[in-house]
Chains A and B, each alone.
Chain A
Amino acid sequence: MQDTLRTRMGWLHAWVGFAAGLLLFCVFASGCLAVFDTELTRWLQPEASPQTEAFSPQSLDHVLPAVHDLLVQGEKPFITLPSRRDPYLRLEHHDGHEFLTVPYNPKTGERLTVRATAGGTFFYDLHYTMRSGVYGETLVAFVGLALLLTIGSGIIIHLKGLVSDLMLLRPFAARLRAWLDVHVVAAVVFLPFILLMAYSGTFIRARTLFPPVSYLASIENAFRTSVPSTPRRPEKSAVSIPPSFPPLAPLVAEAERTIGAGQTGYILFQPQNILISRTDASGPLLTREHVDFSAEDGHVLRHVLLPGAITHTEQVLKGLHYARWTGVGMRWLYFISGAMGAVMFASGSIIFLMKRRRQSGERLMFRIAEGLAIGSIVGLPLGTLAFFWANRLLPVALHDRPLAEGHVFLAVWVLSAVSGMVWSLLGRPFQGWKIQLFCLAGLGLFLTPLDVATRPGVTFFHVPTVFAATDLVAFFLALVSFQMARRL
């Protein structure tokens, strides 16, 4: 074969794409769910009804005792003010993985009795760390670089037919042709979005790619057994927490005079300060501009708005990547584009396997690769649906419920990966694909009945809500899985 740039790029595209693609599928799939993290949290706490009363700033003071308790426990609590996305007042804190949230009535400040859940931010953490902390974050940042490489090589491969093949989709052609068309349509048509996400995502995590401490030093530190020379300090901060906080309504009014009316989004509590921050919905520039107040008497300490071209660049890229400024329409565009990004990786991996199935003679390495593909492409959606099922079926009084939901997700994902690997090693990969796709179709199909059966105050005829949208997306996923399993 003539060794042209195109064939060389084809090799690079295939191998780097497959190696990174299995993880990137998970990154894109979880990312498109994370776009609706607030809405998913509402689905996961069905006790809070879709509509509630209008916000009254006086209600904020009723949340303060709970804030105080969290501060005493060494947490960093914050209140999210009601918005168009979520009508409830929410007290949140980060547990190391997710933002755990408790809703309050926005008019009276009364705490709502809802189930504890990891919530929609479970997928946000999964998206950028794979729930593995800083190591996962570094890994995801590196596969982001691999994605940029794959996109570049992919453009060179498809340059000739970039315009003419833009909308050429032949689902009823031969299988390889059909998958190739799906891959090209998903990749080329959604190229602007995929490129933006790859670039902005890698930019945001640039600190993990170019850390202030060298990688070598980090690795040495990780393996070094440290003997503490001094006794360990208690984790709790030594800074004293005031016994009571000043009323919050005048503070919010004061902050709005600086930031703008209706532009406040969060109230963050620190032992000595109360930070009232600009809402992320105010625009594509994610400034997090905030006005700081004393926690003792509520007097204004400072107004913080970071200036500079580099800061603004970062704020724009973060704003475009996180999409917190968007309305519901744009959010759906992000969701569909993210889902098509996941389709691109899934179809690319399937093409990689199809092309090599015969020539590899189904060697061990090929079987392992196919097992991994099953575990990633079907395993992650399976785990996700299992997470939703667990949320509704686990006892409400269960201790450490958010952790249990996460464990169900991981257990189903691992089970799927192991079963896929076993079927693949036994030389019957299609059986593995089919069984798991049918399971996925079943879980998706019955999510609506589960939702209806386990949601208090359910009505069939109501305005479109997060519940209907989530159920419909699961139903659509079930139909796609069923069709794929049938055509395998």
Chain B
Amino acid sequence: MTIILCTFLWSLFLLLQACHEPKMLRFARIQKPAWLQRAAGGRFVLPLVALVLCFAERASTAIPVWVATFSIAALLVALGWAGLARYRELLITAADVRTVGLGKE
């Protein structure tokens, strides 16, 4: 259960982190949401909460669990972001094609 919860918290943190990276935003062709600006520093709380959870479950294994869940979460976000970027790309391409088609008419 702790592993799932930590992976979720890390995923949330990394998702917010990706929304702050101009390169990631350009890749997915999305604009940075305005509300993210206000919660810029708040995202750093999430990994700490995950660390506290790991320690609460078993102190001797907290660090390996915390680090391993970071890796899994980063992989999940990378795959999800790649999917989102592909979806946005197809959406924009379809919209462009429709615009060109309407222009011809």
A165 within 8 A of B: yes
Residues in chain A near residue B24, CB distance under 8 A = 164, 167-168
Task: Output the nearest chain B residue to A192 by Cβ-Cβ distance.
Answer: B67
Q: Is A185 an interface residue (CB 8 A)?
A: yes
| B65 CB–A CB distance under 8 Å | yes
Q: Of the candidates A168, A189, A284, A334, which one forms a contact with B23 in the assembled complex, judged by CB atoms under 8 Å apart? A: A168
Tell whether, in the assembled complex, residue B74 and residue A166 are in contact, meaning their CB atoms are under 8 Å apart.
yes
Residues of B within 8 A of A185 (CB): 74-75, 78
Contact pick for B72, options A167, A169, A336, CB 8 Å = A336
- What are 10 A-B contacts defined by CB distance under 8 Å? A166-B14, A168-B81, A189-B75, A192-B68, A192-B71, A330-B68, A333-B68, A333-B72, A336-B72, A337-B72
Residue B21 is within 8 A (CB to CB) of chain A in the complex: yes
B23, B61, B78: residue with the most chain A Cβ atoms closer than 10 Å: B78
A-B contact count (CB 8 A): 78
The answer for the CA separation of A185 and B3 in the assembled complex, in Å, is 21
B21 touches A164 (CB 8 A): yes
A189 adjacent to B3 (CB under 8 Å): no
A142 at the interface (CB under 8 A from B): no
Which residues from A are CB-within-8-Å of B18? 167
**CA A340 to CA B69, docked complex, whole Å:** 14
Q: A193-B71, A330-B68 are in contact. Are A165 and B23 (CB under 8 A)?
A: yes
**Count of interface residues, chain B, beta-carbon cutoff 8 Å:** 29
Inter-subunit contact A325/B61 (CB<8 Å): yes
**Which residues of A have CB within 8 Å of B3?**
329-330, 333
What's the nearest-Cβ distance from chain A to residue B31, in Å?
Answer: 18
Q: Are A170 and B67 in contact (CB under 8 A)?
A: no
Chain B residues with CB below 8 A from A190, complex form: 71, 75
Tell me the complex Cα distance, A164–B27, Å: 12
Min CB–CB distance A180 → chain B (angstroms): 13
B16-34, CB < 8 A from A: 18, 21, 23-24, 27
Instruction: From B3, B69, B89, name the one whose CB has the most chain A CB atoms within 10 angstroms.
Output: B3
A192 to B81, CA, bound (A): 22
* Docked complex Cα distance between A320 and B60 (Å): 11
Q: Is chain A's binding surface mostly helix, strand, loop or mixed?
A: loop
Query: Judging by beta carbons under 8 Å apart, are B71 and A172 in contact?
Result: no
Tell whether, in the assembled complex, residue B68 and residue A167 are in contact, meaning their CB atoms are under 8 Å apart. no
**How many angstroms between the C-alpha atoms of A169 and B85 in the bound complex?**
10
Residue A250 lies at the interface, judged by CB distance under 8 Å to chain B:
no
State how many angstroms separate the Cβ of B98 from the closest Cβ of chain A. Answer: 21
| Contact among B14, B27, B65, B70 for A170, CB-based, below 8 A | B27
Known: A167-B81, A330-B61. 16 other contacts (CB 8 A): A163-B21, A164-B23, A165-B23, A166-B78, A167-B24, A167-B77, A168-B27, A172-B82, A189-B71, A189-B78, A192-B68, A193-B71, A326-B61, A330-B68, A333-B72, A334-B68
Identify the closest chain B residue to A178 (Cβ). B82
A65 at the interface (CB under 8 A from B): no
A235 and B86 alpha carbons, distance in the complex (Å): 66
1/0 per position for A307-331, CB-CB distance to B under 8 A?
Answer: 0000000000000100001100110
Contact of A193 with B82 in the complex, beta carbons under 8 Å = no
A74 is an interface residue with CB less than 8 A from chain B: no
Within 8 A of A (CB), among B37-91: 60-61, 64-65, 67-72, 74-75, 77-79, 81-82, 85-86, 89
Q: Which 6 residue pairs of A and B lie closest in terms of their CB atoms, listed nearest first?
A: A333-B68, A167-B78, A189-B74, A329-B3, A169-B78, A169-B82
Q: Considering the chains assembled together, what is the distance between the CA atoms of A283 and B72 in angstroms?
A: 23
In angstroms, Cα B61 to Cα A167, docked, is 26
Q: CA separation between A171 and B68, bound complex, in Å?
A: 24
Would B85 and A170 count as touching, CB distance under 8 A?
yes
Cα distance A169–B83 in the bound complex, in angstroms: 9
Q: What CA separation (Å) do A185 and B76 show in the bound complex?
A: 11
Q: Nearest B residue to A327 by beta-carbon distance?
A: B3
A98-136 vs B, Cβ < 8 Å mask (1 yes, 0 no): 000000000000000000000000000000000000000
With contacts A164-B21, A164-B23, A172-B86 taken as known, whether A284 is within 8 angstroms of B14 at the C-beta atoms is: no
Chain B, residue nearest A325 (CB): B61
Set of chain A residues within 8 Å of B82, measured between Cβ atoms: 169-172
